């Protein structure tokens, strides 16, 4: 048998970490090193610096928050195409409610967030309803939600962005704690940490993986398949809304046109992070590293002066390479 | 022999890893003859037919077509040689028309162009259907045809290949009585046209309705071939089951305790009707019958995997409602499914994760799964059940069939159920592991668990069960005590006869 003792229960945690994520970490390190070398060769400012690291994290905060939810959806064997629309919708709802209650100060901001999150829950419930009760494939159900939510965003603001927002509104997107650490980065890190614990250490996370690995076996083992799927789609929608709130806070406006195609960027991060699109297999940590690989790529290519069209070509190549490497690793 | 055979299969041997599926297959077929092939599940009929159709190569033996030795390389080659198979599951493309299905992959062309000559295709299809006297619109999509009509399309397709030999595997299983009459008429028509047919069926009465000769197989061995007019139904049953128990069954008999599970009037449309029985502490009850008799359906209904239309389930005397497997597990009912890979295990998960999946909540300490306890419990099961694996973090897909089944068992042992339903628990696992599983069943019964064991293997049912329930076409045909049960009696009940006629 080729599979020799992979498993003894007392194996040190660090070596497990390296075995699972080593490949992705090496890719990330190589990428950073490459940009550093090119930057020096070109004689521009060095690529690797604390400021740049925070910049990269800050720029990936929105996709990062959303990718946590998407990881759960994909591990459960589904897909959620509605997150791009929800990013726009969250910003619109948050901005509208905050502006309407602007006199109430911080309360207005809280009310805006709460209203947006409720809207996200509603959208997630719809996705869950169609996917579980009516057995509509997730691709189709969330495609429909994507279209409707996009339209609803335009409808409630009449096509133009919500501006004239109170100064507090930029808290999520542009405020730095202790002068350096952006709130958005903290939100993202909390989402990743919470998602990781949920997936790895709770019965819920185990159930999500069981469903993706074999829904019928899971059901016949007493896993409440429909309820778990429902929660997963609600979670993903709410996290997309949070991402939308961060984006709208960064722009200090609620713009219904943003987020088009973001669902694919988020799926890319999840897939590069080693999560299998056929379900059952994937990690939150992998998604985090996948996200960084893509963010470093975008930032680095800009840093060395490549224009955005070229960046898109390279991103495509990186996605393919990541998935091929993952398959190669699986076969080895 | 003076008659010329269209087909002779001589001394066919087929081995699979660990088992000889066919030891000495023999079969001859005359033109215009209906030759029935019978035997229990696993007797080797299907394997023999797969060899004939080119789906499986044989290890040794000879196949003669009209007296000339032939080698059949593939199903496609078999078709070219004039051998067609009609399986229970049809090979039709649902959204294409009747004519398109008949000529799929060899559509007539307009001259040498790449375009289909539709009028020729429809006319040819129509003339074939006329030839076998079937009245069916050739433009109708197949998914709008009834099951019986789809079968006619399959047969028409076979005729269109100029087949001289048609094999029908359980063609009657899904037909109504009326449709069956139509099929028999069609078979009579094919006989007149000189086509030889091999007819496989579990329904013995059909042999006497249409068969010319009958061949019986048992445990991969050829038993005998007789003209149907020379044998009785009893003769055939005796030939089918006539063997001594060869396996080891470590049966232990315990005192019968109080009633644990009782079901009354359980019905599910299209599955089973008005099924009632009860299970007691200290007993293993067998549920048997032919494939399709509704055994698995009953088990799934008790377990909440499928909805029931009528009936009531009682556990320890109290009526319970089971809406989902989750409900059933909570109440103390477990089901080891027949299909380990798709319904029993999450193949990509580890032994540890599979073992605890059905009772994860017992391991939760403040929201989180207690990994340490989980590892200890899994290691205990691996040791106790002697699961052969390098470790508990091995994924289930890397285990052998017997070890996979033990992991499923561990999962249900960990739920500490009161009632366990085993659906074909020993299918596809080797003899050694079988005995281990039987011993485990004894241990469970000793602890007060009651077991309902579904099995098609009669020796196993006779060897391990205290009581045997037999199903026939969705009904409970009868119940036999351990001391009264014989293979003949079970087969009688399973094929729809009453016990009174056994005498």
How many angstroms separate the Cα of B259 from the Cα of each of A42, A280, B43, B81, B255? 85, 41, 37, 60, 12
Q: Considering only CB atoms, which residues of chain A are within 8 Å of chain B?
A: 1, 3-9, 197, 201-203, 206-207, 209-210, 213-214, 216-224, 280-281
Note whether B325 contacts A221, CB cutoff 8 Å: yes
Q: How many domains does chain A have?
A: 1
Q: Is residue A1 part of a domain?
A: no
B404 burial via Cβ count (<10 Å: 0-12, 13-18, 19+): buried
Q: Is pLDDT above 60 for A57?
A: yes
Tokens, residue A61: 């905060």
The closest of B330, B50, B392, B399 to B200, measured between CA atoms, is B50
Note whether B391 contacts A201, CB cutoff 8 Å: no
How many angstroms separate the Cα of A206 from the Cα of each of A216, A257, B345, B361? 15, 37, 14, 11
Q: Tell me how far the alpha carbon of residue B325 is from its chain's centroid.
A: 24
Q: Are A19 and A285 in contact (CB under 8 A)?
A: no
Q: Are B184 and B168 in contact (CB under 8 A)?
A: no
Buried b or exposed e, range B323-335, using 16+ CB within 10 angstroms: ebbbebbebbbbb
Tokens, residue B182: 């139509």
- Tell me the per-residue pLDDT of A156-177, one tens digit each, with 9 for 90 and over: 998 789 988 888 888 998 888 8
| CA B485 – CA B502 distance, rounded (Å) | 12
Note whether B326 contacts A203, CB cutoff 8 Å: no
In the block, which residue shows the tokens 């033996």? B61
Q: Is residue A39 part of a domain?
A: no
| CA B396 – CA B384 distance, rounded (Å) | 18
DSSP annotation string for B254-312 = ----SEEEEEEEEEETTTEEEEEEEEETT-EEEEEESTTSSHHHHHHHHTTSS--SEEE
Q: Is residue A32 part of a domain?
A: no
For residue A86, the enclosing domain spans 49-331
Closest CA–CA distance from residue B366 to any residue of chain A (Å): 10
- Percent of chain A residues past pLDDT 90, beyond the cut: 66
Q: How many helices (H) and strands (E) does chain B have?
A: 16, 22
Residue B318, H or E segment: strand B318-320
DSSP annotation string for A259-327 = TTTHHHHHHHHHHHTT--TTSS---HHHHHHHHHHHHHHHHHHHHTT--HHHHHHHHHHHHHHHHHHHH
Q: Is residue A172 part of a domain?
A: yes
Max Cα-Cα span within chain A: 70
Q: Are A89 and A260 in contact (CB under 8 A)?
A: no
Note whether A7 contacts B353, CB cutoff 8 Å: no
Q: Is residue A275 part of a domain?
A: yes
| CA A148 – CA A81 distance, rounded (Å) | 12
β-strands B60-65, B213-218 pairing: unpaired
The closest of B192, B133, B10, B157 to B85, measured between CA atoms, is B157
The closest of B208, B249, B251, B253 to B227, measured between CA atoms, is B208
| CA A254 – CA A271 distance, rounded (Å) | 30
Find the mean pLDDT for residues A137-144: 96
Backbone angles phi, psi at A214, to 5 degrees: 175, 95
- Tell me the per-residue pLDDT of A209-227, one tens digit each, with 9 for 90 and over: 999 999 999 999 999 999 9
HSE-CB of B100 using CA atoms within 13 angstroms: 12
The ipTM (two decimal places) reads 0.84
Tokens, residue A148: 């409707």
* Confidence grade of residue A306 (pLDDT, cut at 50, 70, 90): confident
Instruction: Please report the domains of chain B, with CATH numbers, ordered by start residue.
Output: 7-241 (3.40.50.300), 245-332+417-430+448-503 (3.40.50.300), 345-416 (no CATH)
Q: Is pLDDT above 70 for A59?
A: yes
DSSP annotation string for B33-77 = -EEEEE--TTSSHHHHHHHHTTSS--SEEEEEETTEE----SHHH
Note whether B392 contacts A3, CB cutoff 8 Å: no
What's the pLDDT at B42?
65
What's the pLDDT at A330?
54
For residue A300, give the CATH number of its domain.
1.10.3470
Tokens, residue B366: 């403040």
| CA B221 – CA B20 distance, rounded (Å) | 10
Tokens, residue B215: 């061949």
| CA A171 – CA A249 distance, rounded (Å) | 7
Specify which residues B141 forms β-bridges with: B97
Sign of CA dihedral A124, A126, A129, A131: negative
Q: Are A186 and A275 in contact (CB under 8 A)?
A: no
Note whether B346 contacts A4, CB cutoff 8 Å: no
- Tell me the per-residue pLDDT of B22-63, one tens digit each, with 9 for 90 and over: 999 999 999 999 999 988 766 788 889 999 999 889 999 999
Closest CA–CA distance from residue A217 to any residue of chain B (Å): 4
What's the pLDDT at B344?
92
Q: Where are the alpha helices (DSSP H) in chain A?
A: 13-42, 50-75, 83-100, 106-128, 138-157, 171-174, 183-201, 203-213, 215-220, 225-251, 262-272, 284-303, 308-331
Q: Are B7 and B64 in contact (CB under 8 A)?
A: yes
Q: Which residues of B touch A221 (CB under 8 A)?
A: 325, 329, 357-358, 411
What's the pLDDT at B291?
72
| CA A39 – CA A303 distance, rounded (Å) | 8
The conformation of residue A202, written as its DSSP 8-state character, comes to: S
User: Which regions of chain B are under pLDDT 70?
Assistant: 1-3, 18, 41-42, 174, 242-248, 428, 430-432, 498-503
Q: Is residue A14 part of a domain?
A: no
Q: Which residues of B touch A9 (CB under 8 A)?
A: 375, 379, 391-393
| CA B199 – CA B177 distance, rounded (Å) | 17
Note whether B342 contacts A7, CB cutoff 8 Å: no
What's the pLDDT at A252?
92
CB contacts < 8 A (A, B)? 99
- Tell me the per-residue pLDDT of A77-122, one tens digit each, with 9 for 90 and over: 999 999 999 999 999 999 999 999 988 878 899 999 999 999 999 9
Q: Considering only CB atoms, which residues of chain B are within 8 Å of chain A?
A: 303, 305, 324-326, 328-330, 335, 337, 342-350, 353, 357-361, 364, 367-369, 371, 375, 379, 390-394, 398, 411
In the block, which residue shows the tokens 């004239």? A164
């Amino acid at each position: 048998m080729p599979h020799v003792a992979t498993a003894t229960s007392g194996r040190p945690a660090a070596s497990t970490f390296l075995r699972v994520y080593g490949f992705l970490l090496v890719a990330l390190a190589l990428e950073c090193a490459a940009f550093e070398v090119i930057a020096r060769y070109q004689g521009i400012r060095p690529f690797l610096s604390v400021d740049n690291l925070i910049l990269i994290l800050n720029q990936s905060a929105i996709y990062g928050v959303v990718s946590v939810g998407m990881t759960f959806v994909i591990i459960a064997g589904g897909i959620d195409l509605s997150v791009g629309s929800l990013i726009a919708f969250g910003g619109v709802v948050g901005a509208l409610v905050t502006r309407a209650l602007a006199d109430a100060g911080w309360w207005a901001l809280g009310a805006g967030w709460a209203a947006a999150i409720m809207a996200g829950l509603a959208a997630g419930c719809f996705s869950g309803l169609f996917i579980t009760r009516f057995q509509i494939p997730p691709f189709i159900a969330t495609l429909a939600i994507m279209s409707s939510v996009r339209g609803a965003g335009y409808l409630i603001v009449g096509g133009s962005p919500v501006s004239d927002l109170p100064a507090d509104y930029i808290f999520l997107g542009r405020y730095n704690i202790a002068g350096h650490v952006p709130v958005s980065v903290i939100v993202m890190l909390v989402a990743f940490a919470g998602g990781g614990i949920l997936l790895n250490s709770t019965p819920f996370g185990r159930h999500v993986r069981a469903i993706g690995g074999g829904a019928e076996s899971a059901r016949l083992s007493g896993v409440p398949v429909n309820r778990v799927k429902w929660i997963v789609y609600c979670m993903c929608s709410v996290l997309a809304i949070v991402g939308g709130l961060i984006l709208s806070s960064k722009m200090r406006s609620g713009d219904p046109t943003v987020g088009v195609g973001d669902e694919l960027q988020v799926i890319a991060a999840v897939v590069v992070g080693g999560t299998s699109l056929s379900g059952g297999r994937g990690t939150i940590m992998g998604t985090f590293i996948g996200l960084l690989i893509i963010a470093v790529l975008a930032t680095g290519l800009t840093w060395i002066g490549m224009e955005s069209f070229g960046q898109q070509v390279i991103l495509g190549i990186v996605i393919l390479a990541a998935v091929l490497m993952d398959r190669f690793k699986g076969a080895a | 022999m003076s008659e010329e055979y269209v087909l002779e299969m001589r001394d066919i041997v087929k081995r699979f890893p660990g088992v000889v599926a066919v030891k000495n297959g023999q079969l001859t077929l005359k033109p215009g003859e209906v030759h029935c092939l019978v035997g229990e599940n696993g007797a080797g009929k299907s394997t023999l037919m797969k060899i004939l159709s080119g789906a499986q190569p044989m290890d040794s033996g000879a196949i003669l077509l009209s007296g000339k030795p032939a080698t059949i390389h593939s199903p496609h080659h078999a078709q070219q040689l004039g051998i067609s198979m009609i399986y229970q599951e049809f090979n039709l493309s649902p959204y294409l028309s009747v004519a398109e299905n008949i000529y799929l992959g060899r559509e007539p062309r307009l001259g040498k162009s790449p375009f289909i000559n539709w009028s020729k295709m429809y006319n040819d299809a129509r003339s074939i259907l006329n030839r076998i006297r079937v009245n069916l619109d050739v433009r109708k999509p197949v998914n709008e045809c009834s099951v019986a009509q789809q079968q006619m399309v399959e047969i028409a397709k076979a005729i269109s290949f100029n087949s001289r030999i048609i094999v029908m595997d359980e063609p009657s299983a899904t037909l109504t009585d009326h449709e069956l009459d139509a099929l028999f008429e069609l078979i009579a028509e094919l006989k007149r046209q000189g086509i030889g047919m091999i007819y496989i069926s579990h329904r013995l009465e059909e042999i006497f309705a249409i068969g010319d000769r009958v061949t019986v197989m048992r445990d991969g061995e050829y038993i005998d071939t007789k003209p149907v007019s020379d044998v009785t139904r009893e003769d055939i049953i005796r030939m089918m089951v006539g063997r001594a128990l060869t396996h080891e069954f470590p049966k232990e008999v315990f005192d019968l305790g109080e009633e644990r599970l009782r079901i009354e009037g359980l019905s599910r449309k299209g599955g089973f009707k008005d099924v009632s029985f009860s299970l007691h502490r200290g007993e293993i009850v067998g549920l048997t019958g032919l494939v399709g008799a509704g055994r698995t359906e009953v088990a799934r209904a008790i377990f909440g995997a499928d909805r029931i239309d009528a009936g009531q389930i009682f556990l320890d005397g109290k009526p319970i409602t089971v809406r989902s497997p989750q409900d059933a597990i909570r109440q103390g009912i477990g089901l080891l499914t027949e299909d380990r890979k798709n319904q029993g295990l999450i193949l990509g998960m580890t032994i540890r994760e599979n073992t605890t999946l059905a009772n994860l909540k017992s391991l939760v300490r403040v929201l989180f799964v207690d990994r340490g306890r989980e590892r200890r419990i899994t290691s205990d099961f691996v040791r106790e059940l002697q699961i052969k694996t390098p470790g508990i973090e091995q994924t289930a897909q890397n285990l052998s069939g017997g070890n996979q089944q033990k992991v499923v068992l561990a999962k249900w042992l960990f739920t500490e159920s009161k009632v366990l339903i085993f659906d074909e628990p020993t299918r596809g696992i080797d003899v050694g592991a079988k005995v281990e599983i039987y011993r485990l069943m004894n241990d469970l019964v000793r602890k007060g668990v009651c077991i309902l064991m579904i099995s098609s293997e009669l020796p196993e049912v006779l060897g391990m069960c205290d009581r045997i329930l037999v199903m026939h076409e969705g009904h409970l045909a009868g119940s036999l005590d351990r001391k009264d049960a014989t293979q003949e009696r079970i087969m009688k009940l399973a094929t729809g006869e009453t016990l009174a006629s056994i005498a």
